[in-house]
Amino acid sequence: MGYDTRNPSFTFRFGEYRHGKLSKLAKLNKMPVVDFVRSKILDPFIDGDLVPKAKDDLILEMSKLKLEKIKAEIEYLKLKNRYMETFGTPLSSAATRILKPQLITTSQTSQITMSPYDAKNNIIQCCECSQLFRWENKDEFLKQKYEFELHMTNKHGRAFTYLEKTVLTDLSFSGASI
């Protein structure tokens, strides 16, 4: 196999603007244009080291937001650990609610936009753990509404969402659960 076959030359024309741009970049790198194109663009591209430019600003923006979210979560964990180390006791659930970054993932959003009241069976169901709250009469109904609120604070460490609050405020006794 001859030298020319093993090392074929490659020729193409390039527009003035792009050529000018490449010449400038090559000059900055103190290289002849051809060497610059080969060693800084073509070789890295073929080796898979040249990262394609992000499709649009939105994708870039999303990555930035994801990074910020991760940073915020790390900060929160650090804070929790520091608190535990300093005071020898975990953060209270009230403090946790305030400090935890209020960044909601898709699955959490779908849970939170679910109503806790199941009208078909006339019961309250916790959107997070599916625990049921049933009643036979009005006294029990009022008690169970209160129990559900306590459940949310004690078991899930949070207050009602706007939807949960609205549903429960509007919910009045209409007979025993099924």
Pick from 126, 167, 168, 171: which binds Zn ion (CB under 5 A)? 126
- 128, 96, 133, 123: which is closest to 109 by C-alpha? 128
Q: Residue 166: which residues within 8 A CB-CB, separation 6 or more?
A: none
- 56, 142, 158: which is closest to 100 by C-alpha? 158
Interface segment toward Zn ion; rule CB under 5 A; list 35-43, 110-118, 129-137, 165-173: 129-137
Pick from 58, 119, 129, 150: which binds Zn ion (CB under 5 A)? 129
CB of 154 to Zn ion, least distance (A): 10
User: Are residues 124 and 160 in contact, defined by beta-carbon separation less than 8 angstroms?
Assistant: no
Q: For residue 148, count other CB atoms closer than 10 A to its CB.
A: 20
DSSP code for 142: H
Residue closer to Zn ion (CB basis): 86 or 130: 130
User: Are residues 141 and 85 in contact, defined by beta-carbon separation less than 8 angstroms?
Assistant: no
Pick from 22, 40, 76, 128: which binds Zn ion (CB under 5 A)? 128
Please count the residues of this chain forming the interface with Zn ion, following the rule CB under 5 A. Answer: 4
CB of 152 to Zn ion, least distance (A): 7
**Structure tokens, 81:** 């650990």
Interface segment toward Zn ion; rule CB under 5 A; list 32-40, 93-101, 116-124, 131-139: 131-139
CB of 129 to Zn ion, least distance (A): 3
Residues that bind Zn ion (CB under 5 A): 126, 128-129, 131
